[in-house]
Structure formats: structure tokens, C-alpha cells
């Protein structure tokens, strides 16, 4: 399986945020995307928290040489606790999660 990696320092500053969010929005359900950053991704994490991308999770870590890795995962909305089927009827969400 190939890993999707984007090296953010290759892009002009004014385009970075739009590029990152469009790639996250276009990411297929169940897939991962890794961004390599040359600065702490705290500002990006703040923007992700404020966004309406409720079926997206992420982790960040330093990878050395002053670089950070931000790994994004796009969850299936039906299995996300914040959106999708509420499970009250015992329908779709129950089947998807396998409960």
C-alpha cells in the first residue's frame, strides 16, 4: 500500500492552508494522508479543531531536523461518534460497527 505524503515546505505560504484543507476534504473515507511540515503544526491543529470536518482525526509528532509530521485519517461518517447514524433505532450504525 502506498503512503500519501505531502511535503508542505514545497508550497508558497499563502496557498498552504487552502491546499491542506482541500486535500483533506478530497481524501477518501478510510484513507490516510501525511503532511511533513517545517514548523509545529499547532496552528493547523487549531484550524482543524475549528473546522466542520467532523469525520477527520489526526496525530502529530516531531520527526527530527526541525520537521513535524501531521497524519490525517478520514473516518467513515457512519462510525464517527459526532456524525452519522445516532444508533437509536439499532439500524445502520450497529451493523457498520459490528456490535
Q: At 55, which CATH number? A: 3.30.110
Q: What's residue 70's pLDDT?
A: 94
The reported pLDDT for the residue numbered 2 is 84
Instruction: Supply the range of the domain harboring residue 91.
Output: 5-97
Residue whose cell numbers read 490525517: 72
How many domains are contained in the chain? Answer: 1
pLDDT along the chain (99 residues), means of 10: 90 91 92 94 89 87 92 81 50 47
* pTM as predicted: 0.72
pLDDT of 32 = 95
**Distances from the Cα of 4 to the Cαs of 1, 20, 72, 79, in angstroms?**
10, 13, 10, 23
Amino acid at each position: 500500500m502506498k503512503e500519501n505524503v505531502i511535503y508542505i515546505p514545497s508550497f508558497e505560504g499563502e496557498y498552504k492552508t487552502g491546499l491542506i484543507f482541500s486535500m483533506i476534504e478530497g481524501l477518501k473515507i478510510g484513507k490516510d494522508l501525511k503532511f511533513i511540515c517545517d514548523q509545529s503544526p499547532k496552528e493547523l491543529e487549531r484550524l482543524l479543531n475549528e473546522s466542520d470536518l467532523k469525520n477527520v482525526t489526526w496525530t502529530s509528532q516531531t520527526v527530527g531536523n526541525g520537521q513535524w509530521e501531521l497524519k490525517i485519517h478520514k473516518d467513515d461518517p457512519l462510525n464517527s461518534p459526532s456524525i452519522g447514524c445516532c444508533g437509536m433505532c439499532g439500524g445502520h450504525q450497529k451493523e457498520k460497527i459490528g456490535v
